Amino acid sequence: MKHQFLLFVSSFSLVLCDLASYLRERENFLENENSRFLGSNLELTSSESLVNDYLMNLKYAELDYGFATADFMQSQNFLISKPKYDSSQVFQFIKQMPKGGAIHVHDTAITNLDFLVANVTYRDNLFMCLVDNKINFRFAATKPDDTADCIWSSVSESRQNSGNVEEFDEAIYRNLTLVVPDPFSEYPNINAVWSSFQKYFVTSGGLICYEPVFRDYFYKGLEEFYEDNVQYMEIRTTLPTIYRLDGSVLSDFQAMLTYEEVFAKFKADHPDFSGAKIIYAPSRKVTEETVYDYISLATVLKRSFPDLMAGFDLVGQEDLGVPLIEFLEPILSGQTESDLKYFFHAGETQWNGMSTDLNIIDALLLNATRIGHGYAIAKHPLAIELAKNRNVPIEVCPLSNQVLMLVSDLRNHPATILMADNFPVIISSDDPPVWNASALSYDYYAAFMAMTSRNTDIRFLKQISYNSLFYSTLDGDSKAEAISLFEQKWDIFIQSFLKRILPSFVSYN
């Protein structure tokens, strides 16, 4: 018995020794892991540290509530959880914060839907018809000719005759948004939600692509991002057909001039805006011959608008589109003949080893400058390694991925793996008005709360803002100026925020 006791005592002391060693090793492990998250290499000033303490208290409170109650808003579809976002103090903090650039957004989905409904649909000379349960719009000097499936009527007269203007406008709004009371029954699978998503572009196209509206729409969109503390944008465009009241249409060259003029006017009106560029991004569901035409046009536009035209992409639902492997010859010709930069949407899919996720491999081997979404890259370790070695960033759009049914709970987003290991990630917002978001803050907030560790702090937010400018297509001097401007805005934000939370604060950095 005594022998056993001694053994027990001996074992117990050995356990105590091992426990202390274990705890030290555990602490070192966690410190090493925390030293690898995106932004962990940034050093905070004393002022930033104070603001960070304030922010992290808010973050911990939200996370602790979600952990205790299982009521975690980023695990819920944004189509129904948006009011919770708006009430978050962390979200309100992020809204006030400088965010650098939004460099993955699409041209006809950047401006709040209220502008289309309350402003554009109240303009003169607008007609509408119903085709396949979706509204088509058209501005015209006189009523367009009817067809078997489209009987045109004046929007203003239809509104007046509706008997309820609010219900009439609400019906238009419903035709533009994906927001529904029960998205799970309305969109039972990814193809269903994409089908509704694409209807938005049909309905909105007749409104946005009328030349006077087109100019106003883009100016308003830039303004919304600017008010969200975004200072630079790169906008993908299909180069839609822009039309005039008499039915004539703008050429692609004239459309680019329109972008250039709107961007120039906005920058003149807002001197602390770093500008905007265009990525020509037509549909991927086409033939190889059509892609040759796309590349040819992109090459001409790049030569004609070297400061405006950033590069080329192909867009549309990837699973139902044509994979990049089918377009190798025209894509390679674009690089050899004009050094055209590519920003391919690739791997926006749940599949593994299919043509869609293999687009990631082709995008990298085709020397893409950035990869749009790249959702499936976590399933391809060699692709992660290659992208990191080549410093090719992934443009992550969290809310788009959730609403379009790639991931239901943002804590499970594969980009969490990338951001935990300091992979070059950019956060952007894709098509925010379609799901009742706006600008960039909602996606920053979703990433910060759901796609990073509990202990990931303000350095992450600062780093992804840096990344949005560092990985932009701004040239050397312009990029340096934009980053310098961001740093000035960041410092002003930190100091002004401190004065609000600590009225007696005096800067001592």
Average pLDDT over residues 84-113: 98
What pLDDT does residue 507 have? 54
In one letter, which amino acid is 290? Answer: T
Last residue of a domain, one of 186, 212, 236: 186
| Shared domain check, 262 and 170 | no
| Shared domain check, 142 and 124 | yes
In one letter, which amino acid is 80? Answer: I
Distance, CA of 428 to CA of 10 (rounded, Å): 59
SS (H, E, C) 100-154: CEEEEEECCCCCCHHHHHHHHHHCCCEEEEEECCEEEEEECCCCCCCECCECCEE
> For the segment 289-327, what is each residue's pLDDT rounded down to a tens digit?
999 999 999 999 999 999 999 999 999 999 999 999 999
| Shared domain check, 349 and 297 | yes
Residue 329 reports pLDDT greater than 60: yes
In 3-state terms, what secondary structure has residue 179? coil
Specify if 463 maps to a domain.
yes
Residues near 320 by beta carbon (within 8 Å), at least 6 away in sequence: 191, 194, 285
| Shared domain check, 216 and 174 | no
What pLDDT does residue 17 have? 60
In one letter, which amino acid is 158? Answer: S
| Shared domain check, 181 and 158 | yes
Parallel, antiparallel, or unpaired: how do β-strands 134-139 and 126-131 relate? antiparallel
Q: Contact, 106 vs 474, CB < 8 A?
A: no
Average pLDDT over residues 86-115: 98
User: Does residue 17 or residue 47 have the better pLDDT?
Assistant: 47
Distance, CA of 381 to CA of 97 (rounded, Å): 34
What pLDDT does residue 504 have? 60
| Shared domain check, 126 and 223 | no
Specify if 14 maps to a domain.
no
Q: What is the mean pLDDT of the chain?
A: 94
What pLDDT does residue 103 have? 98
| Shared domain check, 222 and 243 | yes
Specify if 15 maps to a domain.
no
Specify if 368 maps to a domain.
yes
Residue 502 reports pLDDT greater than 90: no
Place of tokens 């005759």: 161
> For the segment 226-249, what is each residue's pLDDT rounded down to a tens digit?
999 999 999 999 999 999 999 999
Distance, CA of 160 to CA of 379 (rounded, Å): 55
Residues near 276 by beta carbon (within 8 Å), at least 6 away in sequence: 222, 232, 233, 234, 235, 259, 263, 266
What pLDDT does residue 3 have? 44
Q: What is the pTM of this model?
A: 0.94
What pLDDT does residue 12 have? 47
Last residue of a domain, one of 186, 216, 247: 186
Residue 5 reports pLDDT greater than 80: no
| Shared domain check, 131 and 95 | no
DSSP 8-state assignment for residue 455: T
Specify if 166 maps to a domain.
yes
| Shared domain check, 293 and 173 | no
DSSP 8-state assignment for residue 210: B
Spatial CA neighbour of 309 closest among 227, 375, 252, 250: 252
> For the segment 33-66, what is each residue's pLDDT rounded down to a tens digit?
989 999 999 999 999 999 999 999 999 999 999 9
Residue 16 reports pLDDT greater than 60: no
Alpha helices in 366-456 (DSSP H): 381-390, 398-403, 415-420, 441-450
Average pLDDT over residues 98-111: 98
User: Does residue 20 or residue 443 have the better pLDDT?
Assistant: 443
Q: What percent of the chain has pLDDT over 70?
A: 95
What pLDDT does residue 7 have? 40
For 256-259, the CB contacts below 8 A with 24+ separation are: 256/301, 256/304, 256/305, 256/308, 256/309, 258/211, 258/214, 258/215, 259/218, 259/235, 259/308
What pLDDT does residue 1 have? 42
Domain hosting residue 277, numbered range: 89-112+203-490
Written as six digits, the tokens of 373 are 């979404």
Q: Contact, 507 vs 45, CB < 8 A?
A: no
Helix (H) or strand (E) segment spanning residue 427: strand 425-427
SS (H, E, C) 221-286: HHHHHHHCCCCEEEEEECCCCCECCCCCECCHHHHHHHHHHHHHHHHHHCCCCCCEEEEECCECCC
Residue 509 reports pLDDT greater than 80: no
Residue 15 reports pLDDT greater than 60: no
Tell me which residues are annotated as active site: 348, 373
Evaluated on CA atoms 258, 220, 131, 315, the torsion sign reads positive
Q: What total of structural domains would you count in the chain?
A: 2
Check which CATH number belongs to the domain holding 358 and give it: 3.20.20.140
Average pLDDT over residues 460-487: 97
| Shared domain check, 408 and 353 | yes
| Shared domain check, 397 and 461 | yes
What pLDDT does residue 4 have? 45
Assign 134 a pLDDT band (cuts: 50, 70, 90).
Answer: confident
The CA-atom distances, in angstroms, between 473 and each of 307, 339, 470 are 10, 14, 8
Q: Contact, 461 vs 51, CB < 8 A?
A: no
Exposed (0-12), middle (13-18) or buried (19+): which is 414, by Cβ within 10 Å?
buried
What pLDDT does residue 6 have? 41
Specify if 235 maps to a domain.
yes
Specify if 211 maps to a domain.
yes
What pLDDT does residue 11 have? 47
Spatial CA neighbour of 174 closest among 195, 147, 207, 203: 203
Distance, CA of 291 to CA of 324 (rounded, Å): 10
Specify if 501 maps to a domain.
no
| Shared domain check, 270 and 124 | no
